[in-house]
A and B are shown apart, each in its own frame.
Chain A
């Protein structure tokens, strides 16, 4: 039996792993997709303390992983199907139908990028539709692209793409951005970026590849077509909590409700990172959640023994 099973290998899960294993707990991290989660999509972290020159998402995750391995955290590329709670243990059912028993669970499942849900989006995935500017930006050198969204991610990625492409349409459904001021200032100064407010994407157009996008003004209902070669979508996130929705309390958006000690409604099950209902979702806050969750998992295990 494990002491701690951590679901999700992003900053929250890896930090929880480091703390748990360092305090002598038998710990495994399960990650079904990509270690690092959303942050590996990021070319440059400017606000993580300790790296004044900035660091890329994947470089920092490499370091997190190295540190976790140093403390003998087990890692595994397995998806979790469901979690069952019993009096003395928890059962983590994997997608490959095997089962792991554990004393505690830390849910560090993060969040996934939302889709537009419009015609053409699925059809042109990998053919001009992208959710990762750092991965795919290079395929659009000297071309025209659209970036959809108005938050920090949308503006950061648009600024990244501006170094590569000829022109960017930055399309947002509201009449102002949600992003922090420093990013808004940089965007407004960038002469490759044309800002289009009050517009939503109705359809992504093309033949074999993306050729254009049909947008609609939410106020005037006027539609227009822009010629583009690529479209990068940053419209928000949905927490990855559906697989535990039968057991764990969430808010109406699916964010897991946990208190300051990262305790969910089930004793011995903790939440950490972007999947948790909270006000600031950053690497640094994910790490903090992970450390607190691991520390409380340890206390819970000690209390079980007593």
Chain B
């Protein structure tokens, strides 16, 4: 079962801004090598934090409006949303512990 939600302009408000639990959004694109390589780490996080954290993927190629809205100019960027607000962002690939430490502080 895929625990990562595919985010679009249409479901952004419902899935991210109005989510009951914090949301980790992975901004990525198919031509971005580091994004593709970071994907398994994001996927592991999605499984380990299931129920506590929603994990969504936003393809900046398909959804440029949302990327522009949040000033994304570098991918991969991981953003954490809580009650509709951006509470943390990590730009670029990083070790898994780095992601989980930052998440544990927020959750």
Interface residues of A (CB under 8 A from B): 32-36, 39-43, 56-58, 61, 77-79, 95-96, 125-132, 134-136, 138-140, 208-209, 230
* Size bracket, chain B contacts: 20 to 34
A126 pairs with B74, CB closer than 8 A = yes
CA distance A57 to B35 in the complex (A): 13
Known contacts being A77-B41, A138-B29, A139-B72, is A132 close to B34, with CB within 8 Å?
yes
Nearest CB in chain A to that of B30: its residue: A58
CA distance A56 to B30 in the complex (A): 12
Selected contact of A40 from candidates B36, B61, B77, CB within 8 Å: B36
CA distance A206 to B5 in the complex (A): 35
28 contacts between A and B (CB under 8 A): A32-B97, A34-B93, A35-B37, A36-B37, A40-B33, A40-B36, A56-B33, A58-B36, A78-B96, A95-B95, A125-B91, A125-B92, A126-B73, A127-B73, A127-B74, A128-B73, A130-B73, A130-B74, A132-B74, A134-B31, A134-B32, A135-B76, A136-B73, A138-B29, A139-B60, A139-B73, A140-B73, A230-B73
For A126, list chain B residues within 8 Å (CB): 72-74, 77, 89, 91-92
For B60, list chain A residues within 8 Å (CB): 138-139
CA distance A32 to B70 in the complex (A): 27
For A127, list chain B residues within 8 Å (CB): 71, 73-74
Residue B65 is within 8 A (CB to CB) of chain A in the complex: no
Residue among A34, A36, A79 with the highest chain B CB neighbour number at 10 A: A34
CA distance A32 to B100 in the complex (A): 13
For B41, list chain A residues within 8 Å (CB): 77
CA distance A125 to B92 in the complex (A): 9
Chain B window 57-97, contacts with chain A (Cβ cutoff 8 Å), 1 for yes, 0 for no: 00011000001000111111100000000000101111111
Known contacts being A77-B44, A127-B73, A136-B73, is A40 close to B37, with CB within 8 Å?
yes
* Shortest beta-carbon distance from B97 to chain A in Å: 5
A36 pairs with B33, CB closer than 8 A = yes
* Shortest beta-carbon distance from A156 to chain B in Å: 14
For B40, list chain A residues within 8 Å (CB): 77
Residue B38 is within 8 A (CB to CB) of chain A in the complex: yes
B34 pairs with A79, CB closer than 8 A = no
Known contacts being A40-B34, A40-B37, is A209 close to B97, with CB within 8 Å?
no
B37 pairs with A34, CB closer than 8 A = yes
For B92, list chain A residues within 8 Å (CB): 125-126, 131
CA distance A129 to B73 in the complex (A): 9
* Shortest beta-carbon distance from B31 to chain A in Å: 7
A95 pairs with B97, CB closer than 8 A = yes
Residue among A33, A41, A57, A96 with the highest chain B CB neighbour number at 10 A: A33
For A35, list chain B residues within 8 Å (CB): 37
Nearest CB in chain B to that of A132: its residue: B34
For A138, list chain B residues within 8 Å (CB): 29, 31, 60-61
Nearest CB in chain A to that of B27: its residue: A126
A58 pairs with B29, CB closer than 8 A = no
For B38, list chain A residues within 8 Å (CB): 34
Nearest CB in chain B to that of A140: its residue: B73
A34 pairs with B71, CB closer than 8 A = no
For B74, list chain A residues within 8 Å (CB): 125-127, 129-130, 132, 135-136, 139
